[in-house]
Amino acid sequence: AKFAVIFVAVQYNVTYTTDDNSEQFHFYDYGPKDIATIFFYMLVAINLHAIIQEHILDKINRRLHLSKTKHSKFNESGQLAFFYLFSFIWGASILNEEEFMMDPSSLWKDYPRSRMLFQVKFFYICQIAYWLHALPELYFQKIRKEDIPRQLCYICLYIAHISGAYLLNLQHLGLILMVPHYLVELIFHASRLFYFIDENKQQGFTIWALLFVMVRLLTLTLSVLTFGFGLARVENPGFSIADGNFNVLPVRIGCLAAVCLTQAWMMWKFINFQLKKWREHVKNQIPKKKIANTKNKRTKKEPNRG
């Protein structure tokens, strides 16, 4: 039982008491034992993935009779839509309860915050576990070879950014950036699911496109504000692994560069996606115009024949 607790329960509990010992406050740190906890919840995520696939997505796929390409994309969007919906609701509830959004200076104030509340630590453990589980799922789901590089790219980006925020004691910033990002991704994958069901339903992509650009600007603004101004002016700069303090110039530049490069890459992919859709729309409109022109010519000729 003692051995199993390392895998199931959240580790590194730190308890504080008030001066009169009337109230206790429970916080959590991170350490090597978190690897065992993440591994356990990664297995849980694999089982949940299989349950959603078998009892929900496969049944819908049988009714839609999708092609192999659309079948693979439908499964991907279905799984991610469930995850993004769950993560968005959970993350938004944490932000609401802890009132993280009320004071922007709390992103860098009192850094390093090496102590986390239970729900914050458990949220990060589940996030890392989910994206790690996505790696073996590439094999379990028999993903097509041409789709593996794309999925592997965004999976590794998620793992790197979320783990970085967790280990560098930037959990507050990471949580604020994840919640709106997950909302945008939820809208995209939900829109794609509706599109596979009925190709005429494309209104969701317009909403997604507007929010996508706004969230990219929000992410860049908060990142520059935190790494460029906030953390650079706190009273305790320095590097100390024991204290969880990583507030030095190379780390700040590395974090800001990672965020900026990722946002630039996402915008580049977004622009290419929109251009591709626009070209497809133009190609589809050309045959329709030709058909309409031929019909107009025929209607003009018919009275002359009479």
Please give the tally of structural domains in the chain: 1
Residues of the domain holding 143: 7-285
Does residue 221 belong to any structural domain of this protein?
Answer: yes
Q: Roughly what angle, to the nearest 10 degrees, separates helices 118-140 and 148-167? A: 160
Does residue 102 belong to any structural domain of this protein?
Answer: yes
Does residue 176 belong to any structural domain of this protein?
Answer: yes
Tens digit of each residue's pLDDT (9 = 90 or more) over 130-152:
999 999 999 888 888 888 999 99
Confidence label for 160 from pLDDT (cuts 50, 70 and 90): very high
Do 29 and 16 contact (CB within 8 A), yes or no?
no
Rounded mean pLDDT, 279-292: 69
Question: Does residue 216 surpass a pLDDT of 50?
Answer: yes
Rounded mean pLDDT, 97-126: 83
Does residue 61 belong to any structural domain of this protein?
Answer: yes
* Closest listed residue to residue 224, CA positions, set 196, 194, 250, 260: 260
| Alpha carbons within 13 A on the beta-carbon side of 43 | 7
Tens digit of each residue's pLDDT (9 = 90 or more) over 79-105:
999 999 999 999 999 998 876 666 777
Does residue 303 belong to any structural domain of this protein?
Answer: no
Coil vs helix vs strand at 202: coil
Rounded mean pLDDT, 8-31: 81
Does residue 305 belong to any structural domain of this protein?
Answer: no
Question: Does residue 297 surpass a pLDDT of 80?
Answer: no
Neighbours of 208 (CB within 10 A): 21
> Distance between CA atoms of 107 and 299, rounded to whole angstroms?
69
Does residue 294 belong to any structural domain of this protein?
Answer: no
Does residue 292 belong to any structural domain of this protein?
Answer: no
Question: Does residue 304 surpass a pLDDT of 60?
Answer: no
Question: Does residue 191 surpass a pLDDT of 50?
Answer: yes
Do 191 and 208 contact (CB within 8 A), yes or no?
yes
The overall average pLDDT reported for the chain is 87
Confidence label for 286 from pLDDT (cuts 50, 70 and 90): low
pTM > 0.95: yes or no: no
> Distance between CA atoms of 46 and 218, rounded to whole angstroms?
32
Question: Any residues with CB less than 8 A from the CB of 53 and at least 6 apart, and which?
Answer: 75, 78, 79, 141
DSSP 257-299: HHHHHHHHHHHHHHHHHHHHHHHHHHHHHHHHHHHHHHHHHHH
